[in-house]
Structure 1
Amino acid sequence: MKKIILLGLVLTIFSCSPTKVVDEPKSLYKVLVSSDYGGAAFQFYEVISEQKEFNMLLGDEEIKKFVKPTDIQTANFVLINLGEKNSGGYKVDIKSVTELSDKIIVDIEEIKPDGMAMQAITNPYCVLKINSKKPIEFK
């Protein structure tokens, strides 16, 4: 009986070796919200980098669950509106977000409906969180 307990104790000690915790690299950007409805009536891209503008994001029910009040110190946020469209099927596609030594380049594409699309007024938009405070350019 003592041998079984001793064997169990030895196995427990060796099986409880410390595990190495590896931090996953932080992604450069994340799409927080993307929708066919809810955007503005005209097309524009806006970088949200000021506290006053950021407070609007914190007040949005859909977005605030992805954002912490301290994020404005380490990240920029981008609002992309495609404007009013006369049918469904339009989408915002983030082709790439590239970090250079002095800036971030966001490459955006408007995806148009292919074939038949629902006849309805839509306002596609997207909100990105970019984990950098560098200036942002759109391509």
Structure 2
Amino acid sequence: MALCFLLFFSCSTQKQPLVSSLKYDILFGNDYGGASFQFYEIITEQDEFTILLTDDMIKPYVKKDDIEKNNFILINLGEKKSKGYTIKIQKIEERSDKIILTIKEIEPKGNVVQTTTNPCFVLKVKSKKPIEINGLP
């Protein structure tokens, strides 16, 4: 069953963002298993996280207590006409009140298999601050 629910800090008085070395991991990425439409979901609470723990494709990459110190983001790129679509984390900013994450969808290059796919990804952000995402609808 496809999972259909689906990362800093500034010391300046001007609240200028600081490009951070905040840790994140792309836990999972697959050409199949995502939704037919593009969306993302920020997972911050245990009840939302339980969905990841029960998904056969994702559960090998997460532990039950991971949600206590981390946030997760489920990204679905929607229906695509070929394999090879992926994401790139372009920039992460940590502010005193939130994390701003800029994500870009990367199209495949060269010869690719022409088949309908539904790429999906799960990111683990090693922070509990609220997350704002740019670059995705």
| TM-score in terms of structure 1 length | 0.74
Q: Secondary structure at the match of 1:97?
A: strand
Within 5 Å, give how 1:2-81 maps onto structure 2: 28-81=23-76
Instruction: Please say if residues 92 and 108 of structure 1, whose CA atoms lie closer than 8 Å, have aligned partners that are also in contact.
Output: yes
Deviation, 1:99, is 1.9
Q: Is the 8 A contact 1:47 1:76 kept in 2?
A: yes
- Which structure has more helix as a fraction of its residues? 1
Aligned to 2:96: 101
Q: CA RMSD in A?
A: 1.8
Any conservation in 2 of the 1:95–1:107 contact (CA below 8 Å)? Answer: yes
Describe the superposition over 1:35-68 as per-residue Cα deviations: whole angstroms up to 9, x where unpaired.
Answer: 1111110001110112221101111233223322
Structure-2 change in CA distance of 1:63 and 1:89 (3 Å): closer
Q: What per-residue deviation string (whole Å, max 9, x for no partner) do you get for residues 100-125 of structure 1? A: 22111111111112243211001111
Alignment of 1:114-129 (within 5 A): 114-129=109-124
CA contact (8 A) 1:88 1:122 kept: yes
Matches of 1:62 and 1:96 in 2, distance apart? 27
Please tell me the residue identity of whatever aligns with 2:84. G
Q: Quick check: 1:29–1:97 contact (8 Å CA) kept in 2?
A: no
Stretches of structure 1 lacking an aligned partner (at least 5 in a row): 1-25
- What fraction of aligned residue pairs are identical, expressed as a percent? 55
CA distance in 1, matches of 2:32, 2:42: 20
Q: TM-score, normalised by structure 2?
A: 0.74
Structure 2 unaligned regions, length at least 5: 1-20
How many residues are paired up?
114
